[in-house]
Amino acid sequence: MQANNNRLTGGIAELETRARAVSLLLLDVDGVLTDGRLYFSNSGEEMKTFHTLDGQGIRFALEAGIGVGIITGRESALVSKRCKDLGINIVHQGVGDKSLVLDQICAEQKLATESIAYVGDDAPDVPVLMRVGLAASVPTGHRCALDAAHMITDAQGGYGAVREIVDFILASQNKLSY
Ligand SMILES: [Mg+2]
């Protein structure tokens, strides 16, 4: 994990303070929970691969009382299924303006943006990254997302990046059990 000191004044200590306030983790899907590549079968069916490290991390977050949700521009049944399997019940697919959805989630969950962490890797994520308490991106993210993030994971999207963020949040809150 790397702190983006252009967006932080207090380095790692500030990141931990931000992580301590988090009660909801929101995730982009493509490039964050996946490697960002879109796979299609001959019949045109879309496929994605998810990493068990991330799935387990999401379960640990939920068990620790941290909510988890997704906001994605694309729409697919397999994402709905993956969310159902993991117990994610805040699911927004086919989203054009992610910042509007953030407003909606804040209103529904009665949360301030300071208590939300968001992980995104591209331009549509930037307006959300700029607003939340803890903004994270991944090494393969577009430069605009990296610039907008407070922290950048060591792991790539689809390869445990989300687990790394969950671990950081839980450790900051003294809730990491391993
Ligand atoms: Mg993405």
DSSP 106-146: HHHHT--GGGEEEE--SGGGHHHHTTSSEEEE-TTS-HHHH
pLDDT tens for 83-126 read: 999 999 999 999 999 999 999 999 999 999 999 999 999 999 99
Q: Is 143 domain-assigned?
A: yes
CA of 95 relative to ligand 1 center, distance in Å: 12
Are 117 and 102 spatial neighbours (Cβ–Cβ below 8 Å)? no
pLDDT tens for 20-71 read: 999 999 999 999 999 999 999 999 999 999 999 999 999 999 999 999 999 9
Q: Is 178 domain-assigned?
A: no
Q: Is 103 domain-assigned?
A: yes
CA of 7 relative to ligand 1 center, distance in Å: 21
CA of 176 relative to ligand 1 center, distance in Å: 27
Q: Is 149 domain-assigned?
A: yes
pLDDT of residue 56: 98
Instruction: Say if strands 39-40 and 46-47 run parallel, antiparallel, or are unpaired.
Output: antiparallel
CA of 124 relative to ligand 1 center, distance in Å: 8
pLDDT of residue 173: 98
Residue 135's domain comprises: 2-172
CA of 172 relative to ligand 1 center, distance in Å: 26
CA of 79 relative to ligand 1 center, distance in Å: 13
CA of 125 relative to ligand 1 center, distance in Å: 7
Q: Is 177 domain-assigned?
A: no
CA nearest to 118, candidates 77, 59, 169: 169
Mean pLDDT of 167-175: 98
Q: How confident is the model at residue 13 (pLDDT cuts 50, 70, 90)?
A: very high
Mean pLDDT of 73-91: 96
Q: Give the pTM.
A: 0.97
CA of 49 relative to ligand 1 center, distance in Å: 14
pLDDT of residue 177: 87
**Rounded Cα–Cα distance for residues 26 and 97 (Å):** 15
Q: Is 147 domain-assigned?
A: yes
CA of 72 relative to ligand 1 center, distance in Å: 7
Q: Is 136 domain-assigned?
A: yes
CA of 160 relative to ligand 1 center, distance in Å: 15
CA nearest to 123, candidates 93, 146, 94: 146
Assign residue 75 the CATH number of its domain: 3.40.50.1000
Number of domains in the chain: 1
Q: Is 65 domain-assigned?
A: yes
